[in-house]
């Protein structure tokens, strides 16, 4: 069997046949799969939502309401069917200081503002910049998040902040291993019920039937509650309040969008879907505005639960909607039953998610890719675990951009030859991209004092990328003008002609002039160049 070597190959290995493609839509069989996948996700959401609520310093129901509200709205309106959203640890760790210093009402106001910022990002289509995240950063993101999910499960091996020991520990480990074994074995026997759901049901039946003394969901907190109630956050509507909540809201919005859009890309790779980034931003924003008014702690996409859903066969919006509605049903009607489920079963499910999420092939890739890419993969993984996803992605993109700029800057060169059309003239054939990184090297290519009276700069093999490049061309033109020599610029675009302040009159129009646009001067709103 051929082993996967890239993230795309890894995603293809995880793909599950989509029955809806055979019948053109949601048939009875696919509806069953979607609903059962949603039930599996809802069961896995419960301890996560409660745990993240504890991390943020709020009541467990605040986390559960967020999982329900954010999960439902994004499932209906989100950019990628099959994605699951809810309360997440990446957001919870940012909320701790705000709740401790100002109280939960300020958190609700912050979540509303966070949602508004995300809505604006969707309206202005800022989500498309997620395309700038390089592949090594995606690999580091996947690996780092898998490690974070794994480490988060370690808290389930504590009882009253003390690590388990003795019989309880061994029984819990045995149940975790049993759950993982059932998830691996179940698809070989039957596909009628998603493997994680079947494993949870079997392990829960054993624990309840034999009354085994292991921690259960009810040991975390009571899940019982009513419907979330609309309420305007009880904070002063003043500029001072805005000064308090805006920094938190901006950071939460950025982290939420980055995690959601990277999860969208990963799920899209697995399911073979594309696009939807702006739509996902709008859905995340609307969901957080709503949850802030209904007493929730806000949220974003959850890669762990999304992977559970997709691997359980959930490919349509129905699975996410079902997960949210099941979660609400647990809170309203079935809290006493859900509280009996052993945490070991849910930990086993999440451990299988870790195994399926971690890009194991990256260990082989590290030996094959350039050293800079390997360092980015490791760097993003480490920063994701040590800090948070947003910081890791920003660091990874910056390092990748600097490496690219350095490499591109070193490729600017000139081939010098006599002119074939003008006697005594010298031609500099420029090769390589001309931009801010290579502008300095470009200017060092020329020596006006030693050149003949006529010099031709041919840009057919080059490309002018930004304003720094234009300034460099102008600077070279000034040097030749000061030396009293004639300079000609050939194979530059008409856009460069208009934007060059001092050297524009030196351009010679050619029939084979290139037709690209200087990126820095392109107006996204009008679709036209600056000056057109």
Distance CA 442, CA 250 (A): 40
Residue 25 pLDDT greater than 90, yes or no: no
pLDDT band, very low/low/confident/very high, at 86 (cuts 50, 70, 90): very high
Read off the pLDDT of residues 292-305 as tens digits, 9 standing for 90 and up: 999 999 999 988 88
Mean pLDDT is lowest, of 148-152, 271-275, 301-305, for: 271-275
Q: Which two tokens mark 460?
A: 């057919």
Token match 């800079």: residue? Answer: 372
Of the candidates 172, 59, 154, the one whose C-alpha atom is nearest the C-alpha of residue 105 is: 59
How long, in residues, is the chain? 532
Nearest-angstrom CA–CA distance, 252 and 258: 10
Alpha-carbon gap, residue 239 to 225, rounded angstroms: 35
415, 431 Cβ separation under 8 angstroms: yes
Provide CATH 3.30.750.24 ranges for the chain: 413-529
**Mean pLDDT for all residues in the chain:** 85
pLDDT over threshold 90, residue 170? yes
Superfamily for 413-529?
Answer: STAS domain (3.30.750.24)
CA dihedral sign of residues 511, 512, 515, 521: negative
Tell me the average pLDDT across 173-190: 92
pLDDT value of residue 10 = 44
Average pLDDT over residues 474-485: 92
Mean pLDDT, rounded, for 416-436: 90
Contacts of 301 (CB under 8 A, 6+ apart): 74, 83, 84, 85, 88, 259, 260, 263, 264, 280, 284
Range in 124-128, 131-135, 377-381, 488-492 the model is least confident about: 131-135
State the CB neighbour count (10 A cutoff) for residue 158.
11
Rounded distance, CA 197 to CA 183, Å? 9
pLDDT of residue 493: 80
Question: What confidence tier does 129 reach under pLDDT thresholds 50, 70, 90?
Answer: confident
Tell whether the model's pLDDT for residue 472 goes beyond 50.
yes
Give burial (CB, 10 Å; 0-12/13-18/19+) of 162.
Answer: exposed
367 falls in which pLDDT band (50, 70, 90)? Answer: confident
- pLDDT at 146 exceeding the cut of 50: yes
Q: Work out the angle at residue 31's Cα, subtended by the Cα atoms of residues 30 and 32, and round it to the nearest 5 degrees.
A: 90
**Of 15-24, 29-38, 470-479, which gets the smallest average pLDDT?**
15-24
- Inform me whether the pLDDT recorded for 428 exceeds 50: yes
pTM of the shown model: 0.72
Average pLDDT of the residues in 226-255: 93
Mean pLDDT of 367-389: 86
426-434 and 454-464 beta bridge pairing: parallel
Q: Name the band, by pLDDT with cuts 50, 70 and 90, for residue 120.
A: very high
Residue pair 466/496 in contact by the 8 Å Cβ criterion: no
CA distances in angstroms from 68 to 85, 290, 463, listed in the order given:
9, 11, 51
- In angstroms, rounded to a whole number, what is the distance separating the alpha carbons of residues 247 and 228? 27
Confidence band (pLDDT; 50, 70, 90) for 2?
very low
> Would you say 82 and 306 are in contact if contact means Cβ atoms under 8 Å apart?
yes
High-pLDDT (> 70) share of the chain, %: 91
Q: In this prediction, what percent of the chain has a pLDDT beyond 90?
A: 43
Assign 9 a pLDDT band (cuts: 50, 70, 90): low
Residue 529 per-residue DSSP state: E
Please tell me the predicted confidence (pLDDT) of residue 526: 45
**Of the candidate ranges 120-124, 160-164, 166-170, 243-247, the one whose mean pLDDT is the lowest:** 160-164
The arithmetic mean of pLDDT across residues 328-354, rounded, is: 90
| Predicted local confidence at residue 53, as pLDDT | 87
């Amino acid at each position: 069997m051929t082993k996967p070597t890239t993230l795309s190959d890894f995603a293809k290995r995880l793909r599950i046949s989509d029955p809806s493609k055979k019948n053109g839509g949601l048939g009875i069989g696919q509806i069953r799969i979607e609903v059962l996948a949603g039930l599996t996700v809802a069961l896995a959401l419960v301890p996560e939502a409660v745990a993240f609520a504890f991390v943020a310093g709020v009541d467990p129901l605040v986390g559960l309401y967020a999982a329900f509200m954010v999960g439902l709205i994004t499932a209906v309106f989100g950019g990628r069917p099959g994605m699951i959203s809810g309360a997440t640890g990446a957001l919870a760790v940012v909320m701790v200081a705000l709740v401790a210093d100002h109280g939960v009402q300020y958190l609700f106001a912050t979540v509303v503002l966070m949602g508004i910022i995300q809505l604006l990002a969707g309206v202005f289509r800022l989500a498309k910049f997620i395309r700038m995240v390089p592949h090594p950063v995606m690999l580091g993101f996947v690996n780092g998040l898998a490690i974070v999910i794994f480490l988060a499960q370690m808290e389930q091996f504590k009882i009253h902040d003390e690590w388990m020991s003795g019989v309880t520990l061994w029984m819990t480990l045995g149940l975790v291993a049993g759950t993982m074994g059932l998830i691996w074995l179940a698809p070989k026997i039957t596909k009628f019920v998603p493997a994680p759901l079947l494993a949870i049901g079997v392990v829960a039946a054993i624990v309840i039937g034999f009354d085994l003394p292991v921690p259960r969901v009810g040991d975390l907190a009571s899940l019982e509650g009513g419907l979330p109630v609309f309420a305007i956050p009880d904070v002063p509507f003043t500029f001072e309040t805005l000064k308090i909540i805006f920094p938190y809201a901006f950071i939460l919005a950025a982290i939420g969008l980055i995690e959601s859009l990277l999860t969208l890309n990963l799920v899209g790779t697995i399911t073979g879907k594309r696009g939807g980034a702006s739509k996902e931003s709008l859905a995340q924003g609307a969901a957080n505005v709503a949850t802030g008014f209904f007493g929730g702690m806000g949220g974003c996409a959850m890669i762990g639960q999304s992977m559970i859903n997709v691997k359980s066969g959930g490919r349509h919006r129905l699975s996410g909607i079902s997960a949210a509605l099941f979660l609400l049903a647990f809170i309203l009607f079935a809290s006493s039953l859900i509280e009996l489920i052993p945490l070991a079963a849910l930990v086993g499910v999440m451990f299988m998610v870790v195994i399926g999420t971690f890009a194991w092939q990256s260990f082989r890739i590290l030996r094959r890719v350039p050293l800079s890419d390997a360092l980015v993969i490791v760097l993003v993984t480490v920063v994701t675990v040590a800090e948070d996803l947003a910081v890791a992605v920003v660091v990874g993109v910056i390092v990748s951009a600097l490496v690219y700029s350095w490499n591109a800057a070193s490729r600017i060169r000139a081939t010098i030859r006599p002119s074939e059309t003008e006697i005594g003239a010298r031609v500099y054939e420029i090769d390589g991209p001309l931009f801010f990184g290579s502008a300095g090297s470009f200017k060092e290519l020329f020596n006006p004092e030693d050149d003949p009276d006529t010099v031709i700069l041919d840009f057919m093999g080059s490309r002018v990328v930004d304003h720094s490049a234009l300034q460099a061309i102008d600077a070279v033109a000034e040097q030749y003008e000061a030396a009293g020599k004639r300079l000609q610029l050939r194979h530059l675009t008409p856009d460069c002609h208009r934007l060059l302040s001092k050297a524009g009159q030196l351009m010679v129009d050619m029939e084979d002039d290139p037709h690209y646009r200087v990126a820095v001067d392109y107006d996204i709103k009008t679709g036209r160049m600056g000056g057109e």
